[in-house]
Amino acid sequence: MKKASNTDSYLHILKYISLFGGVQVLNVLIGIVRNKFVAMLLGPQGVGLISLFNSTTKLISDSTNFGISMSAVRNISEDYDQNDEEKLTEDIALVRSWSLLAALLGFFICIFLSPLLSRYTFAWDGHTLHFILLSPCVALTALAGGELAILKGVRKLRALAAISVYNVLGALVLTVPLYYFFGDAAIVPSLVLMALVQLLLTIMVSCRLYPFHVSFQKTFLDKGWGMIRLGTAFVFAGILGSGADLIIRSYLNNVSDIATVGFYNSAFMMTMVYAGMIFSAMETDYFPRLSGANNLKFTFNQIVNRQIEVTLLLISPLLTFFLLFLPQLILFLYSDKFLPALSMAQVLVLAMYVRAIRLPVEYIPLAKGDSKSYLLLEALYDIFLVSLVLLGFWKWGLFGAGLGIAAAGLLNLVCVYGYAYVRYGYRLSSSVMRYAALHFSIGLLVLLCVRSDDEWMRWGVASLLCVVSTIVSLRVMKAKSGLW
């Protein structure tokens, strides 16, 4: 019981959020340099084109990878914990065999659907050859996903962190020269090259630990059906998410232009990805702890609430400073050509407060093994997202698109919490509600200040609110964790 208490403590959560968040920060810093070069070399049109290609290939990948990158972790982890070397070796071969089948399936489906992908993504057939040439990306991603699942299952977290960093470094060193010399013509080759680099980095570690073996005998492959069934929920969730993203970006491209897609992508990346680094510990630390306590109602609620509290306390001050310096960040991360993305990015910061509460609760159905409920809630969110973003953009442009994302997140939070309340007996703690109300109010006030034309409001009052948010979080974390 003492071990459980320690792993559920505020100090434990702080430690692992800091660990995995630190790796993400390093990756983002390297990625920032790369994105800066890409923005300068290709401009909004090139960034938008990369965004559409990535969204489309991700949709194909999510549709054909059997969910192995997630479902395989469970089987391999169980074998590893039980010290069953024979079963572990067999399951690793099984994962690799199914990953190779998924890679071939994704490769041929991408080629077969390339005319349709070009027509419905770009409203013309001029990119059919590009999608054919991108088919190796889908295959390489499927293979890398299986190998990464193996490393996660055997707890090679340092190796995973190193692979992540070297992958981003490789993308910087290899692709920027291509964009410099060949411009837009280098986009497709660079995407294939990045997928290849990720696979090579991964198998250099995984195959050294466990030599590569596969088998396509029916009796052997049949042993993997349990893993495939478990991955189905993740596959459908990935299809829904990628499909919603593709619909939004294609709509923006068709009713506006490719530059608008670039602005949308820039705002989304700066807030939902860069500012969301704090969420990187959810899958690696929080989810396993939650799964282990799914039959202990009090402990289960406590784990969820403490995760929300720490996440809110850590991310809220960062979001206020992010809002304050957002114009300067756009110039630093991209260029002055991307300033039209500012209004959307500002609103998206508010969506991050909602996400800090929503994301830990969204893991509850998965921890309970309730894949149908998970898919239902994901489908509702994607419906909210597409409907509200399209409506918001139609009414108010990119600012409206940001409002749509924030509103979709808020509606989804209501649905997710209501569902968890009724079905699983989950209850938000009073401290979570207090911290959420306080920090969201501060964030909203900072947003109003930075959108003001008054320089005193823009810098003086907003800066003071940032300091208040920081002091509040530090005082609470000190009291909760006893760290200093």
Tens digits of residue pLDDT in 415-434: 999 999 999 999 999 999 99
Q: Which two tokens stand for residue 152?
A: 């996660």
Q: How far apart are CA 351 and CA 340, in angstroms?
A: 19
Q: pLDDT tens across 26-64, in order?
A: 877 887 788 888 888 888 888 888 888 988 898 899 889
Residue extents of the structural domains in the chain: 20-247, 256-484
* Averaged pLDDT, 447-461: 93
Q: Angle, to 10 degrees, between the axis of helix 85-122 and the axis of helix 68-81?
A: 170
User: Mean pLDDT of all residues in the chain?
Assistant: 87
Is the separation of the CB atoms in 76 and 95 below 8 Å? Answer: yes
Q: How far apart are CA 374 and CA 198, in angstroms?
A: 29
Confidence of residue 451 (pLDDT cuts 50, 70, 90): very high
Q: Which residues contact 208 (CB under 8 A, 6 or more apart)?
A: none
Residue-level pLDDT at 199: 96
pLDDT(275) > 70:
no
Q: pLDDT tens across 136-171, in order?
A: 999 999 999 999 989 887 878 778 878 888 998 998
Alpha helix stretches (DSSP H) within 279-370: 281, 287-292, 297-324, 326-333, 342-367
Q: How far apart are CA 43 and CA 465, in angstroms?
A: 35
Selection from 25-39, 246-260, 405-419 with the highest mean pLDDT? 405-419
Q: Which residues contact 37 (CB under 8 A, 6 or more apart)?
A: 172, 176, 179, 180
29 conformational bin, left if phi > 0, alpha if psi -120 to 50, beta if neither: alpha
Residue-level pLDDT at 214: 93
* Averaged pLDDT, 330-358: 92
* Averaged pLDDT, 460-469: 96
Q: How far apart are CA 417 and CA 301, in angstroms?
A: 12
- Greater pLDDT, 231 or 414: 414
- Greater pLDDT, 230 or 476: 476
* Averaged pLDDT, 458-476: 95
397 conformational bin, left if phi > 0, alpha if psi -120 to 50, beta if neither: left
Residue-level pLDDT at 288: 61
56 conformational bin, left if phi > 0, alpha if psi -120 to 50, beta if neither: alpha
Residue-level pLDDT at 407: 97
Q: Angle, to 10 degrees, between the axis of helix 258-268 and the axis of helix 342-367?
A: 60
Confidence of residue 298 (pLDDT cuts 50, 70, 90): low
Confidence of residue 2 (pLDDT cuts 50, 70, 90): very low
Q: Which two tokens stand for residue 101?
A: 């089948």
Residue-level pLDDT at 5: 42
End-to-end CA distance of the chain: 25
* Averaged pLDDT, 226-231: 80
Q: What is the pTM of this model?
A: 0.76
Kindly state the DSSP code that residue 127 receives in the 8-state scheme.
Answer: T
* Averaged pLDDT, 97-113: 96
- The owner of tokens 């979709």 is 408
Confidence of residue 297 (pLDDT cuts 50, 70, 90): low
Confidence of residue 123 (pLDDT cuts 50, 70, 90): low
pLDDT(476) > 60:
yes
Confidence of residue 293 (pLDDT cuts 50, 70, 90): low
Residue-level pLDDT at 51: 83
